[in-house]
Structure 1
């Protein structure tokens, strides 16, 4: 465990209390246990699917043509832009470089989140009273922002290796995400599986899926008071997928062949013709808590992330 994660854990424990922190930590540890993931999913399904099916099942919503006001990219850091760690700061700079001319880059922090997102007071109170963690708060925040404004939530850990056409995806789809085969099996029920990345998710203003997600979070909080399930966001999205909300939009997400974790898993590897497409075809998740420093000037991390090498320049580099 790094010094960063120790400090973060201590801060969470201080805010939440030891008993609640330990229970939340148990859920986080089990996050990578597929058997436990699906066990909790079945419990959520039993409790909430009848309501989801009755209220939202098979329902659709028509959206007008995409406007400039909906072309938003939301970047969140609670303590403000001056407190951004270097990796997150680099990710924000890259987003502005590639999308600043076509999207409104909206920085969200503790000072402006309420005004911009229109978040319900029940969620704000739950966060301020430590009934939900900052992670769950940000899960709710992303759906509040998309529902209120339209656009794409881009986690502070996301680095854009190249500019992909997000504008047309947002125009054609009521919901978008970084779907990849690596997510298959983490959550699986009744023949359907998790096919999204909640760290990169977008949709249209007044999105029915976002409305349903906020509704489910509110119902859960009203009944349970605390939200300690780390992956509740995925559980709720699975219910909406099973219920064919928005004409089955969650079943029609674009699935990328490459993984958003490729650079994180191969950061020391040398950039080569064999890995170019894996790196540049999908945005990459760079964990701010990990140390990617290395002495190889030709490593993927140094060339692509630190130096911002474009796909075209990467091709030239690999041909030398």
Structure 2
């Protein structure tokens, strides 16, 4: 592999920021040794990424072993509770901390489509001005957020865990597009999230997606995830793993297997197909197929200028369709 191509792949995977993260996580030496063994191809780097995620989860499980056991004992009563005894909620949580009016166009369009599909659910828009009306976040976390030790992205992870633990409801990320007139019925389940399913799940330590997260109040997996996040930020002033929320959530799924086993298995691959083809030339068959395959689509607002300036792409077609509805 040419050196320039290797550098390009290194940058796409996170570059030196990724090296810093591995150092903070205590897996840098492991990453270097595994990298030397596996080689530098794209496939090897993907295998390395999965191995590091697994190693990171092992370290977190060991580091928080006593707290995990304590939380298991504390919240097992909710795992054994019947769904009818756990509080339900008709709230949809949508978060853009700066206010939707200040969000990128794609976020505003997603918000409008979500409102059209809410079907009796109450949409609560969470901002930096009102989140404390709905959930109490520990002061030490607020201080670190204000000091920018916790980014808005990761603060939203803390918010979703806190809001769902207290109120229940449906958390929908700001870049999730709903393309049907009603939300799926399983969004009102005791717990639901999109996930990697077999055979793709094999070998993955992080098998969950958090961009749509639905639960009733006091769900034990949500409660444990929230409390582990609180504990982490009480002891740390930096984020050691970008997917810390996912790490703790997956640990909680293993601790409460009964609750996890009741989650309707729907793969997270289909909602990503539209995103992955946005800057391909527009193809009506593909476009219609992607919209028909899933009522939910995970998008993004972080695109390169050279990509969004292309003509006659799937992205241009999507914007045209969303703007006129």
Deviation at 1:152, TM superposition (A): 1.3
Deviation at 1:35, TM superposition (A): 2.3
Residue number in structure 2 paired with 1:88: 107
Q: 1:262 aligns with which of 258, 269, 273?
A: 273
Hey, what's the Cα distance between the residues in 1 that align with 2:310 and 2:177? 18
Cα RMSD for the two superposed structures: 3.5
Residue number in structure 2 paired with 1:220: 232
Q: What stretches of structure 1 of length at least 5 have no aligned partner?
A: 1-18, 189-193, 311-320
Contact kept? 1:37, 1:186, Cα under 8 Å: no
Hey, what's the Cα distance between the residues in 2 that align with 1:55 and 1:221? 17
Q: Which structure is higher in RCO with an 8 Å CA cutoff and minimum separation 6?
A: 1
Deviation by residue 1:189-214 (Cα, 9 ceiling, x = unmatched) = xxxxx332112212112322222112
Hey, what's the Cα distance between the residues in 2 that align with 1:109 and 1:38? 34
Residue number in structure 2 paired with 1:176: 192
Q: 1:135 aligns with which of 132, 135, 153?
A: 153
Contact kept? 2:170, 2:215, Cα under 8 Å: yes
Contact kept? 1:183, 1:196, Cα under 8 Å: no
Deviation at 1:149, TM superposition (A): 2.0
Deviation at 1:93, TM superposition (A): 0.9
Hey, what's the Cα distance between the residues in 1 that align with 2:85 and 2:170? 16
Q: What stretches of structure 2 of length at least 5 have no aligned partner?
A: 1-15, 26-30, 32-44
Hey, what's the Cα distance between the residues in 1 that align with 2:155 and 2:163? 12
Count of aligned residue pairs for this structure pair: 279
Contact kept? 2:95, 2:174, Cα under 8 Å: yes
Contact kept? 2:274, 2:287, Cα under 8 Å: no
Classify 1:271/1:162 alpha carbon distance in 2 versus 1 (closer, same or farther; 3 Å): farther
Which SS does the other structure have where 2:171 is aligned?
A: strand
Residue number in structure 1 paired with 2:215: 203
- TM norm structure 2: 0.73
Deviation at 1:24, TM superposition (A): 5.2
Hey, what's the Cα distance between the residues in 1 that align with 2:311 and 2:253? 45
Which SS does the other structure have where 2:114 is aligned?
A: helix
Hey, what's the Cα distance between the residues in 1 that align with 2:200 and 2:144? 30
Hey, what's the Cα distance between the residues in 1 that align with 2:126 and 2:301? 18
Hey, what's the Cα distance between the residues in 2 that align with 1:278 and 1:258? 11
Deviation at 1:271, TM superposition (A): 4.2
Q: 1:279 aligns with which of 268, 273, 291?
A: 291
- TM norm structure 1: 0.74
